[in-house]
Structure 1
Protein backbone atom coordinates (compact mmCIF):
# COMPACT_ATOMS: atom_id res chain seq x y z
CA UNK A 1 0.00 0.00 0.00
CA UNK A 2 1.40 3.42 -0.95
CA UNK A 3 2.10 5.85 1.84
CA UNK A 4 0.06 9.05 1.76
CA UNK A 5 2.44 11.97 1.89
CA UNK A 6 0.02 14.77 2.63
CA UNK A 7 -3.64 15.67 2.22
CA UNK A 8 -4.72 17.19 -1.07
CA UNK A 9 -4.53 20.98 -1.24
CA UNK A 10 -8.32 21.25 -1.56
CA UNK A 11 -8.74 19.24 1.63
CA UNK A 12 -6.28 21.41 3.52
CA UNK A 13 -7.51 24.71 2.19
CA UNK A 14 -11.20 23.78 2.27
CA UNK A 15 -11.30 23.89 6.06
CA UNK A 16 -9.50 27.21 6.10
CA UNK A 17 -11.91 28.63 3.52
CA UNK A 18 -14.95 27.47 5.49
CA UNK A 19 -13.52 29.11 8.62
CA UNK A 20 -12.79 32.37 6.79
CA UNK A 21 -16.22 32.48 5.16
CA UNK A 22 -17.94 31.81 8.50
CA UNK A 23 -15.97 34.65 10.10
CA UNK A 24 -16.69 37.02 7.18
CA UNK A 25 -20.46 36.42 7.11
CA UNK A 26 -21.33 38.55 10.17
CA UNK A 27 -18.92 41.29 9.03
CA UNK A 28 -20.57 41.39 5.61
CA UNK A 29 -24.03 41.44 7.25
CA UNK A 30 -22.95 44.29 9.54
CA UNK A 31 -21.98 46.32 6.47
CA UNK A 32 -25.10 45.36 4.48
CA UNK A 33 -23.20 43.40 1.85
CA UNK A 34 -23.46 39.95 0.35
CA UNK A 35 -20.30 38.03 -0.46
CA UNK A 36 -20.80 38.77 -4.18
CA UNK A 37 -21.55 42.42 -3.39
CA UNK A 38 -18.23 42.67 -1.58
CA UNK A 39 -16.45 40.93 -4.47
CA UNK A 40 -17.98 43.38 -6.97
CA UNK A 41 -17.12 46.44 -4.86
CA UNK A 42 -13.57 45.14 -4.40
CA UNK A 43 -13.11 44.66 -8.15
CA UNK A 44 -14.45 48.13 -8.93
CA UNK A 45 -12.42 49.77 -6.16
CA UNK A 46 -9.22 48.06 -7.30
CA UNK A 47 -9.49 48.87 -10.99
CA UNK A 48 -10.89 51.13 -13.68
CA UNK A 49 -14.53 51.41 -14.71
CA UNK A 50 -15.68 48.14 -16.24
CA UNK A 51 -18.52 46.86 -18.33
CA UNK A 52 -20.77 44.28 -16.72
CA UNK A 53 -19.32 41.59 -18.99
CA UNK A 54 -15.72 42.53 -18.15
CA UNK A 55 -16.54 42.61 -14.44
CA UNK A 56 -18.12 39.16 -14.62
CA UNK A 57 -14.99 37.77 -16.29
CA UNK A 58 -12.71 39.47 -13.75
CA UNK A 59 -14.54 38.00 -10.74
CA UNK A 60 -15.26 34.60 -12.29
CA UNK A 61 -19.03 34.97 -12.35
CA UNK A 62 -21.61 34.45 -15.05
CA UNK A 63 -22.69 37.91 -16.24
CA UNK A 64 -26.39 37.01 -16.02
CA UNK A 65 -26.02 35.80 -12.42
CA UNK A 66 -24.56 39.05 -11.08
CA UNK A 67 -27.40 41.27 -12.33
CA UNK A 68 -29.29 40.95 -9.03
CA UNK A 69 -26.14 41.82 -7.10
CA UNK A 70 -25.54 44.86 -9.31
CA UNK A 71 -29.18 45.93 -8.91
CA UNK A 72 -28.88 45.80 -5.11
CA UNK A 73 -25.57 47.66 -5.06
CA UNK A 74 -27.02 50.35 -7.33
CA UNK A 75 -30.23 50.62 -5.25
CA UNK A 76 -28.05 51.06 -2.15
CA UNK A 77 -26.06 53.83 -3.84
CA UNK A 78 -22.81 51.84 -3.81
CA UNK A 79 -22.26 51.67 -7.59
CA UNK A 80 -23.46 53.47 -10.69
CA UNK A 81 -24.34 51.85 -14.01
CA UNK A 82 -24.42 54.28 -16.88
CA UNK A 83 -24.90 53.66 -20.59
CA UNK A 84 -21.68 53.62 -22.58
CA UNK A 85 -21.77 56.62 -24.93
CA UNK A 86 -20.12 54.46 -27.61
CA UNK A 87 -22.64 51.60 -27.26
CA UNK A 88 -25.83 52.28 -25.32
CA UNK A 89 -26.47 48.52 -24.93
CA UNK A 90 -23.41 48.37 -22.66
CA UNK A 91 -23.43 49.60 -19.05
CA UNK A 92 -20.31 51.13 -17.52
CA UNK A 93 -19.84 50.39 -13.85
CA UNK A 94 -18.27 52.65 -11.25
CA UNK A 95 -18.02 52.49 -7.49
CA UNK A 96 -19.47 55.48 -5.64
CA UNK A 97 -17.80 57.24 -2.72
CA UNK A 98 -20.21 55.45 -0.37
CA UNK A 99 -19.43 52.12 -2.04
CA UNK A 100 -15.71 52.72 -1.65
CA UNK A 101 -16.11 53.65 2.02
CA UNK A 102 -18.28 50.59 2.74
CA UNK A 103 -15.92 48.24 0.88
CA UNK A 104 -12.88 49.57 2.71
CA UNK A 105 -14.56 49.46 6.14
CA UNK A 106 -15.58 45.86 5.44
CA UNK A 107 -12.09 44.95 4.24
CA UNK A 108 -10.53 46.50 7.35
CA UNK A 109 -12.70 44.30 9.60
CA UNK A 110 -12.09 41.16 7.53
CA UNK A 111 -8.35 41.70 7.49
CA UNK A 112 -8.28 42.39 11.24
CA UNK A 113 -9.76 38.91 11.72
CA UNK A 114 -7.27 37.45 9.24
CA UNK A 115 -4.42 39.13 11.12
CA UNK A 116 -5.59 37.46 14.35
CA UNK A 117 -5.66 34.10 12.59
CA UNK A 118 -2.27 34.63 10.93
CA UNK A 119 -0.77 35.61 14.30
CA UNK A 120 -0.89 31.90 15.16
CA UNK A 121 2.03 31.45 12.74
CA UNK A 122 5.59 32.63 13.36
CA UNK A 123 6.24 35.92 11.54
CA UNK A 124 8.44 34.37 8.83
CA UNK A 125 5.83 31.68 8.15
CA UNK A 126 3.11 34.33 7.89
CA UNK A 127 5.04 36.23 5.23
CA UNK A 128 5.84 33.01 3.35
CA UNK A 129 2.20 31.85 3.54
CA UNK A 130 0.93 35.16 2.16
CA UNK A 131 3.49 35.14 -0.66
CA UNK A 132 2.61 31.55 -1.54
CA UNK A 133 -1.15 32.22 -1.42
CA UNK A 134 -0.74 35.25 -3.70
CA UNK A 135 1.45 33.31 -6.15
CA UNK A 136 -0.91 30.34 -6.32
CA UNK A 137 -4.00 32.56 -6.69
CA UNK A 138 -2.55 34.32 -9.73
Structure 2
Protein backbone atom coordinates (compact mmCIF):
# COMPACT_ATOMS: atom_id res chain seq x y z
CA UNK A 1 0.00 0.00 0.00
CA UNK A 2 1.22 3.48 -0.85
CA UNK A 3 1.33 6.23 1.78
CA UNK A 4 -1.36 8.88 1.47
CA UNK A 5 -0.38 11.97 -0.47
CA UNK A 6 -0.43 14.97 1.87
CA UNK A 7 -3.26 17.40 1.14
CA UNK A 8 -2.41 20.86 2.48
CA UNK A 9 -5.95 22.00 1.72
CA UNK A 10 -7.41 19.36 4.04
CA UNK A 11 -5.59 20.71 7.09
CA UNK A 12 -6.34 24.41 6.60
CA UNK A 13 -9.13 26.21 8.47
CA UNK A 14 -12.39 26.77 6.62
CA UNK A 15 -12.59 29.96 4.55
CA UNK A 16 -15.30 31.37 6.80
CA UNK A 17 -13.13 30.97 9.89
CA UNK A 18 -10.15 32.64 8.21
CA UNK A 19 -12.23 35.48 6.79
CA UNK A 20 -13.88 36.11 10.17
CA UNK A 21 -10.50 36.34 11.92
CA UNK A 22 -9.22 38.69 9.25
CA UNK A 23 -12.44 40.73 9.38
CA UNK A 24 -12.15 41.13 13.15
CA UNK A 25 -8.53 42.25 12.79
CA UNK A 26 -9.49 44.78 10.13
CA UNK A 27 -12.37 46.19 12.18
CA UNK A 28 -10.07 46.46 15.21
CA UNK A 29 -7.51 48.33 13.09
CA UNK A 30 -10.18 50.68 11.71
CA UNK A 31 -11.85 51.55 15.03
CA UNK A 32 -9.14 53.97 16.27
CA UNK A 33 -9.03 55.68 12.86
CA UNK A 34 -12.80 56.16 12.85
CA UNK A 35 -12.79 57.35 16.48
CA UNK A 36 -10.01 59.86 15.77
CA UNK A 37 -12.18 61.35 13.03
CA UNK A 38 -15.40 61.19 15.04
CA UNK A 39 -17.22 58.96 12.59
CA UNK A 40 -18.97 55.63 13.14
CA UNK A 41 -18.44 52.57 10.97
CA UNK A 42 -21.91 53.12 9.42
CA UNK A 43 -21.04 56.79 8.90
CA UNK A 44 -17.89 55.80 7.03
CA UNK A 45 -19.82 53.27 4.96
CA UNK A 46 -22.30 56.01 3.97
CA UNK A 47 -19.48 58.44 3.14
CA UNK A 48 -17.79 55.73 1.05
CA UNK A 49 -20.95 55.02 -0.92
CA UNK A 50 -21.64 58.70 -1.56
CA UNK A 51 -17.99 59.33 -2.52
CA UNK A 52 -18.52 57.04 -5.51
CA UNK A 53 -21.71 58.77 -6.64
CA UNK A 54 -24.63 60.76 -5.25
CA UNK A 55 -27.73 58.71 -4.51
CA UNK A 56 -31.25 59.59 -5.59
CA UNK A 57 -32.99 58.19 -2.52
CA UNK A 58 -32.24 57.01 1.00
CA UNK A 59 -33.70 53.64 0.01
CA UNK A 60 -31.19 53.38 -2.88
CA UNK A 61 -28.36 54.22 -0.48
CA UNK A 62 -29.57 51.60 1.99
CA UNK A 63 -29.66 48.97 -0.77
CA UNK A 64 -26.19 49.97 -1.98
CA UNK A 65 -24.64 49.53 1.48
CA UNK A 66 -26.72 46.53 2.54
CA UNK A 67 -28.52 48.28 5.39
CA UNK A 68 -32.13 48.58 6.44
CA UNK A 69 -33.35 52.00 5.31
CA UNK A 70 -34.74 52.80 8.76
CA UNK A 71 -31.42 51.89 10.39
CA UNK A 72 -29.41 54.53 8.55
CA UNK A 73 -31.69 57.50 9.26
CA UNK A 74 -29.87 58.38 12.49
CA UNK A 75 -26.53 58.09 10.71
CA UNK A 76 -27.75 60.34 7.89
CA UNK A 77 -29.11 62.85 10.41
CA UNK A 78 -25.75 62.96 12.18
CA UNK A 79 -23.77 63.38 8.95
CA UNK A 80 -26.14 66.11 7.77
CA UNK A 81 -25.99 67.98 11.10
CA UNK A 82 -22.20 67.92 10.80
CA UNK A 83 -22.47 69.32 7.23
CA UNK A 84 -20.82 66.22 5.77
CA UNK A 85 -23.73 65.28 3.51
CA UNK A 86 -26.63 67.10 1.91
CA UNK A 87 -30.14 65.72 1.61
CA UNK A 88 -32.03 67.95 -0.78
CA UNK A 89 -35.49 67.56 -2.28
CA UNK A 90 -35.39 66.40 -5.87
CA UNK A 91 -36.76 69.26 -8.00
CA UNK A 92 -38.56 66.66 -10.16
CA UNK A 93 -40.16 64.83 -7.20
CA UNK A 94 -40.10 66.62 -3.85
CA UNK A 95 -40.84 63.34 -1.99
CA UNK A 96 -37.37 62.14 -3.03
CA UNK A 97 -34.21 63.25 -1.22
CA UNK A 98 -31.00 63.52 -3.21
CA UNK A 99 -27.96 62.59 -1.13
CA UNK A 100 -24.42 63.78 -1.79
CA UNK A 101 -21.21 64.57 0.03
CA UNK A 102 -20.38 68.15 0.88
CA UNK A 103 -16.79 69.36 0.37
CA UNK A 104 -16.26 68.81 4.13
CA UNK A 105 -17.67 65.29 3.79
CA UNK A 106 -15.38 64.54 0.86
CA UNK A 107 -12.38 65.82 2.85
CA UNK A 108 -13.30 63.76 5.93
CA UNK A 109 -13.84 60.67 3.79
CA UNK A 110 -10.41 61.08 2.17
CA UNK A 111 -8.75 61.53 5.56
CA UNK A 112 -10.43 58.49 7.11
CA UNK A 113 -9.69 56.39 4.03
CA UNK A 114 -6.01 57.36 4.19
CA UNK A 115 -5.88 56.32 7.86
CA UNK A 116 -7.59 53.03 7.10
CA UNK A 117 -5.23 52.34 4.20
CA UNK A 118 -2.27 52.96 6.53
CA UNK A 119 -3.72 50.44 9.01
CA UNK A 120 -4.21 47.95 6.18
CA UNK A 121 -0.60 48.40 5.11
CA UNK A 122 0.49 47.51 8.63
CA UNK A 123 -1.65 44.37 8.55
CA UNK A 124 -0.32 43.39 5.11
CA UNK A 125 3.25 44.26 6.08
CA UNK A 126 4.40 40.63 6.39
CA UNK A 127 3.42 39.84 2.79
CA UNK A 128 5.78 40.21 -0.12
CA UNK A 129 4.68 42.78 -2.67
CA UNK A 130 3.82 39.94 -5.09
CA UNK A 131 1.71 38.14 -2.45
CA UNK A 132 0.01 41.44 -1.56
CA UNK A 133 -0.94 42.09 -5.21
CA UNK A 134 -2.31 38.55 -5.60
CA UNK A 135 -4.19 38.72 -2.28
CA UNK A 136 -5.82 42.05 -3.13
CA UNK A 137 -6.69 40.97 -6.69
CA UNK A 138 -8.26 37.69 -5.50
CA UNK A 139 -10.09 39.42 -2.63
CA UNK A 140 -11.55 42.03 -5.01
CA UNK A 141 -12.69 39.28 -7.38
CA UNK A 142 -14.26 37.18 -4.64
CA UNK A 143 -15.96 40.13 -2.94
CA UNK A 144 -17.36 41.39 -6.27
CA UNK A 145 -18.84 37.96 -6.92
CA UNK A 146 -20.38 37.78 -3.44
CA UNK A 147 -22.91 40.54 -4.20
Q: TM-score, normalised by structure 1?
A: 0.94
1:74 counterpart (77, 80, 84): 80
Residue aligned with 1:18, SS: helix
Deviation at 1:50, TM superposition (A): 3.2
Residue aligned with 1:50, SS: coil
2:36 counterpart (16, 30, 35): 30
2:118 counterpart (109, 112, 120): 112
Residue aligned with 2:95, SS: strand
Give distance in 1, aligned partners of 2:56 and 2:19.
Answer: 31
1:13 alignment partner in structure 2: 19
Give distance in 1, aligned partners of 2:139 and 2:32.
Answer: 24
Which blocks of at least 5 consecutive residues in structure 1 are unaligned?
A: none
- Residues 1:52 and 2:58 aligned together: yes
Report the aligned-residue RMSD.
1.3
1:137 alignment partner in structure 2: 143
Query: 117-126 or 43-52, which moves further after superposition?
Result: 43-52
Structure 1: 4+ residue segments shifted above 6 A: none
Deviation at 1:9, TM superposition (A): 1.2
Give distance in 2, aligned partners of 1:10 and 1:105.
Answer: 31
Kindly tell me the number of residue pairs found equivalent between the two proteins: 136
2:127 alignment partner in structure 1: 121
Deviation at 1:116, TM superposition (A): 1.6
Which blocks of at least 5 consecutive residues in structure 2 are unaligned?
A: 1-6
Query: 3-12 or 55-64, which moves further after superposition?
Result: 3-12
